[in-house]
Amino acid sequence: MLARTYGMPYGARLTEQGVCFRLWAPSCKQVGLRLADGQHEQVLAMDARGGGWFELTASQAGAGTRYRFEVNGDLRVPDPASRFNPDDVHGASEVIDPAAFAWQDATWRGRSWEEAVIYELHVGTFSPEGTFTGVAQRLDYLVELGVTAIELMPVADFPGTRNWGYDGVLPYAPDSRYGRPDDLKALVQAAHARGLMVLLDVVYNHFGPEGNYLHVYAKDFFTEHHHTPWGAAINFDGRNSREVREFFIHNAMYWLQEYHFDGLRLDAVHAIIDDSSPHILIELARRVHAGIGRERHVHLILENDANSARYLEQELYVAQWNDDIHHALHVLATGERDGYYMDYADDPVRHLGRCLTEGFAYQGEVSAYREQTVRGETSTNLPLQAFVSFLQSHDQAGNRAFGERITHIGQEDVVRAAVAVYLLAPSIPMLFMGEEFASKSPFQFFCDFGEELRKAVTQGRRREFARFARFNDATMEAAIPDPNAPQTFLISKIDWSSLEEEKHGGWLDYYRKLLKLRRDVLMPRLPGMKGRPAQFEVFAPGGLRVQWQLGDGSTLRLLANFSRESVRADLPGGRIVFASLPDSASSDTAKNTLGPCSVVWALEPLPSASETRTPGSANEQ
């Protein structure tokens, strides 16, 4: 039996003498440990160890023991480093023996980043069960689709029965609604057995608004010196910040070691403010790569609205979500110009071309949406695999008022063209659950806060859309779904039965063909692309021509027309490996005229003898 245990310097740790409990509570003079034994509870005084630390080894405690800490006299709080909180964030924590799970994936070393095809999913809405086990039951489907990595939206314990996960308050504890810790480990192990990487979304920029007690007994966890959209920032650079930094660094190491995750996606790092050196993002990545990263492939990914390239340049973070390419494709597919889409509405094809060849569309240009401020850093020196491209994500669906997916609001032929572009381009593609069959289900913003927060959250959600013209009308604003209503969550669950319908099955076939082509033809040629040249040209309204030199020296070419009119265009040189063309455009293409909403991919030189088949060379409908 292979056991994986991460030795945290706090929380509850099993020893030969019992369970060692440690808590950092610098705002307290004394702390009690409350142990539950059936209906009986006892309170034990913890020993002060200096520096705000309190510790006690309890011989009467063991795996399964429920416990809480007693601070400020009689306030009972869960362990901030709890491995499991079966009764939600206000309840008692449970002592977990991490060594009890029998791992059987000792030979797993992960996969190289160039092989990544990511599938983002929300555990609670991905399956009817809404559990880790429910996800595991559909892993074979994901393998057949062509996915090589699943990315779980945050699973850290959040308040209530439903949440996106970004309101977590116990960052070491998988939420009990999804299952027990061993259920999550079983999911990771089952994925590895099928060759799938598992990535986890983590939130290090704030805690949720309900169930976070750190401000009571560890006030130095936060600082008024910096502020974020959630209030006082997490203290990464002030007094006592060393312990705060360690809390999050250990959290990253814990998920990677004890749960054997293959990587982490760090949420909204532009809201992590740190004026010290090294920046917390640098220190965290260095620690990961110096430890676990020496043993196997470990991938750290960023979400950063500031388009900062600096963390990617140091090769500590392998990639960053590229919102720019989503926004450009979204404008092309829908024509929307409100909100942040205004920055891409002037020339979406040009923005798309820049994303496909240089990474970011905004590399120091002025953003009108951000009140004429400069956004972004130069990214032309980075490999294109440093950028994660997507047409949908939890944000881009869920942050819409009604949670509409791109196939609900976009022109279908343009969406099909966009899919053929982003899935076969050299950047790393990411799908959002259900995208591959044009899921009927929306993905709305949902939560389950206590009574005090419910009204404020609902009102705040409606105020978010004040900058969108369609919601200036009070009736439309009032129609925005209530995040706290159970139906808002239930309607967001994937409707798998729609796969029985011809339309949705057709979309699934389309995605499968494209991802097979990526695996067979493109993926082997990606390693070594760093520093390779790429160029693009907007040759007509809606017309885009792109060329890349791949890692093996071959040339990949794209010809796309996103307009409603045929355009004059010479076909790209090399072998046509994929063409997505309307039936009416086929004859025009032979005459060097590219029909509306068409995409052609070509590769030069000819592939090796082992690639005798020409996948996708016929029209793909």
Strands 263-266 and 299-302: parallel
Distance separating alpha carbons of residues 474 and 72, to the nearest angstrom: 46
Instruction: Show the tokens assigned to 577.
Output: 């490996």
Indicate the range of 59-68, 170-179, 303-312, 451-460 predicted with least confidence: 451-460
SS3 213: coil
Q: Which of 79, 267, 436, 482 is catalytic?
A: 267
Distance separating alpha carbons of residues 299 and 265, to the nearest angstrom: 8
Distance separating alpha carbons of residues 172 and 253, to the nearest angstrom: 11
Cis geometry, peptide bond prior to residue 605 (ω within 30 degrees of 0): yes
Beta strands in 83-184 (DSSP E): 93-94, 118-121, 149-152, 156-157, 170-174
Q: Under a CB-based contact definition with an 8 Å cutoff, are residues 252 and 281 in contact?
A: no
Distance separating alpha carbons of residues 493 and 440, to the nearest angstrom: 10
Q: What does residue 95 show for φ and ψ, rounded to 5 degrees?
A: -70, 125
Q: Report the half-sphere exposure of 323 (CA within 13 A, side-chain side).
A: 20
Distance of CA 260 to the CA centre of its chain: 17
User: Which percentage of the chain shows pLDDT scores above 70?
Assistant: 95
Per-residue confidence (pLDDT) for residue 469, from 0 to 100? 67
> Is the predicted pLDDT of residue 456 greater than 70, yes or no?
yes
> Is the predicted pLDDT of residue 612 greater than 50, yes or no?
no
Q: Under a CB-based contact definition with an 8 Å cutoff, are residues 601 and 594 in contact?
A: no
How far are the Cα atoms of 11, 19, 58, 263 from residue 178, in angstroms, in the given order?
22, 26, 30, 20
pTM: 0.95
Cβ neighbours, 10 Å, residue 290: 9
Per-residue confidence (pLDDT) for residue 593, from 0 to 100? 87
Instruction: Show the tokens assigned to 387.
Output: 């950028």
How far are the Cα atoms of 214, 218, 450 from residue 80, in angstroms, in the given order?
8, 11, 20
How far are the Cα atoms of 94, 182, 351 from residue 98, in angstroms, in the given order?
12, 8, 48
First to last CA, the chain: 50
> Is the predicted pLDDT of residue 619 greater than 50, yes or no?
no
Per-residue confidence (pLDDT) for residue 310, from 0 to 100? 94
pLDDT tens readout for residues 406-421: 999 999 999 999 999 9
Rg (CA), the chain: 25
What average pLDDT does range 506-510 have in this prediction? 98
Alpha helix segments (H runs only) across 59-172: 123-126, 132-136, 139-145
Distance separating alpha carbons of residues 586 and 505, to the nearest angstrom: 24
Q: Which of 303, 343, 377, 482 is catalytic?
A: 303
SS3 337: coil
Indicate the range of 296-300, 303-307, 550-554, 605-609 predicted with least confidence: 605-609
Is residue 155 left, alpha or beta, with left meaning phi > 0 and alpha meaning psi from -120 to 50? alpha
Instruction: Show the tokens assigned to 527.
Output: 């390693």
Q: Under a CB-based contact definition with an 8 Å cutoff, are residues 89 and 401 in contact?
A: no
**Residues 525-560 as b or e (16 or more Cβ within 10 Å = b):** bbbebeeeebebeebbebbbbbbbbbbeebbbbbbb
Closest of 280, 222, 212 to residue 246, by C-alpha: 280
Active site residue 303: yes
> Is the predicted pLDDT of residue 600 greater than 90, yes or no?
yes
Active site residue 323: no
> Is the predicted pLDDT of residue 154 greater than 60, yes or no?
yes
Distance separating alpha carbons of residues 73 and 71, to the nearest angstrom: 5
